[in-house]
């Protein structure tokens, strides 16, 4: 039997396709033993998680430190000690730079000098989730802007998109820079973006966010969609502001600055 070149190529091609299809089938028909997934029955539930930070109640440096330390130690947030590689989930900034569009020259001195606690705003219309090319950062139905470190490709589009500077990138391996490791929570790897997760791992196991717990009542956490919730009542009674409201992102973190 003689096979010319054309025929040889034809059969070779067909063989390749055959092998490919067979291989794909092996892949698809892999056994599945599972029965199902379900949320925990002891998790906290809300339609729209939100936070109120009552800055009036933060008096000493210690008050801020406790809150930040609670978050960063639980989530294995590294401390690089330099602003270039810095990673932070919650931190302080002075009033002028926290609210650059709301600053005037004649605010009371105690407000002007008071540090503001900053964290991810978990915006309703989050620009970061809009730009992410892999859905590594995404909105959960309960309003939390989540970040999937397994999927993040490290393009940092979300960092350019976030108007609040809430996102940090792992420029280097974070592990050597974590002072006290919490073995219950993972770290991150170099090359992914991270930020505050509103303590989703705690909420889903029935606990409030670590910062709220550590603040001892200076910060509130609850369901913005429920008119009867604690934070809704608090917002009804106190005048609150949010960062850069003109951008239409609808932040879920509210600040109470002054007044009784």
Partner 1 sequence: MLEKALQGGKRYWTLIFILLGLAGAGFFTYLYQLKEGLGITGMSRDVSWGFYVSQFTFLVGVAASAVMLVIPYYLHNYKKFSKIVILGEFLAVSAVTMCLLFIFVDMGQPMRIFNVILHPTPNSILFWDAIVLNGYLLLNIIIGWNTLQADLKEVPPPKWVKPLIYLSIPWAVSIHTVTAFIYAGLPGRDFWLTAIMAARFLASAFAGGPALLIILAMIIRKYTKFDPGREPIQAVAKIVTYAMVANFFFILLELFTALYSNIPGHILPFKYLFFGIDGHMKLVPLMWLSIFLAIFAIALLVWPPTRRNETTLLFACIIAFISLWIDKGFGLVIGGFVPNPFERVFEYWPTLPELIITIGVYAVGFLVLTVLYKVAISVREQQLS
Partner 2 sequence: MYDGGKIIAGIIIFLAFATFPFYSNIGKADIKPPKPSLDTPVIKELAVKKCVEPKEYMRANHMQLLIDWRDAALREGKRIYINSRGEEVFISLQNTCMKCHSNKKKFCDECHSYANVDPYCWDCHFAKAKQEEQR
Interacting residues toward partner 1 by CB under 8 A: 83-87, 93, 97-98, 100-101, 127, 130-136, 151-157, 159-165, 168-173, 189-193, 244, 247-249
* Ranges within 96-135 binding partner 2 (CB under 8 A): none
Give the nearer residue to partner 1 in terms of CB position, either 43 or 191.
Answer: 191
Give the nearer residue to partner 1 in terms of CB position, either 22 or 248.
Answer: 248
Q: Report the DSSP pairing between strands 49-54 and 253-256.
A: parallel
Sign of the torsion angle spanned by Cα atoms 257, 210, 163, 223: negative
User: How far apart (Å, rounded) are the C-alpha atoms in residues 229 and 215?
Assistant: 19
Instruction: Work out what residue 200 binds among partner 1, partner 2, none; the CB cut-off runs from 5 to 8 Å by kind.
Output: partner 2
Q: Are 252 and 50 in contact (CB under 8 A)?
A: yes
- Site for partner 2 contains 34 (CB under 8 A): yes
- Report which of 248, 93, 82 is spatially closest to residue 166, judged by C-alpha positions: 93
Give the nearer residue to partner 1 in terms of CB position, either 19 or 153.
Answer: 153
Q: Are 179 and 82 in contact (CB under 8 A)?
A: no
Q: What is the DSSP string of 161-177?
A: H-TT---EE--S--GGG
> Smallest distance, Å, CB 63 to partner 1?
21
Give the nearer residue to partner 2 in terms of CB position, either 129 or 215.
Answer: 129
Distances (CA, A) of 240 to 49, 100, 211, 236, 260: 17, 16, 19, 9, 12
Give the nearer residue to partner 2 in terms of CB position, either 80 or 138.
Answer: 138
Instruction: Work out what residue 42 binds among partner 1, partner 2, none; the CB cut-off runs from 5 to 8 Å by kind.
Output: none
The SS3 call for residue 136 is coil
Binding mask 180-209 for partner 2 (x = CB under 8 A): -x-xxxxxxx----------x---xx----
> Smallest distance, Å, CB 165 to partner 1?
4
The greatest distance separating any two alpha carbons of the chain, rounded to the nearest whole angstrom, comes to 98
Instruction: Work out what residue 37 binds among partner 2, partner 1, none; the CB cut-off runs from 5 to 8 Å by kind.
Output: partner 2
- From the list 85, 112, 138, 250, which residue makes contact with partner 2 (rule: CB under 8 A)? 138
- CB neighbours of 214 closer than 8 A, spacing ≥ 6? 66, 67, 69, 70, 71
Residues of this chain that bind partner 2 (CB under 8 A): 30-31, 33-40, 43, 138, 140-142, 146, 148-150, 181, 183-189, 200, 204-205
């Amino acid at each position: 039997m003689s096979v010319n070149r054309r025929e040889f190529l034809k059969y070779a091609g067909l063989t390749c396709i055959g092998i490919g299809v067979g291989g794909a089938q092996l892949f698809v028909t892999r056994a599945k033993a599972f029965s199902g997934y379900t949320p925990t029955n002891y998790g906290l539930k809300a339609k729209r998680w939100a936070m109120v930070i009552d800055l009036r109640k933060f008096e000493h440096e210690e008050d801020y430190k406790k809150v930040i330390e609670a978050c960063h130690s639980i989530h294995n947030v590294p401390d690089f000690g330099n602003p270039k590689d810095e990673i932070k989930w919650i931190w302080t900034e002075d009033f002028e730079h926290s609210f650059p569009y709301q600053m005037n020259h004649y605010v009371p001195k105690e407000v002007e000098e008071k540090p503001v606690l900053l964290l991810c705003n978990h915006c309703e219309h989050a620009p970061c989730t809009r730009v992410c090319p892999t859905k590594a950062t995404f909105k959960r139905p309960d309003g939390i802007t989540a970040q999937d470190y397994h999927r993040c490709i490290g393009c940092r589009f979300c960092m350019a998109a976030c108007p609040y500077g809430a996102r940090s990138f792992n420029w280097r391996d974070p592990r050597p820079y974590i002072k006290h490791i919490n073995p219950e929570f993972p770290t991150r790897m170099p090359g992914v973006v991270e930020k505050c997760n509103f303590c989703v791992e705690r909420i889903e196991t029935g606990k409030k966010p670590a910062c709220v717990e550590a603040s001892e009542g200076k910060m509130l956490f609850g369901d913005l969609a429920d008119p009867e919730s604690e934070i809704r009542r608090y917002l009804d009674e106190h005048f609150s502001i949010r960062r850069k409201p003109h951008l239409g992102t609808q932040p879920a973190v509210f600040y109470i600055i002054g007044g009784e």
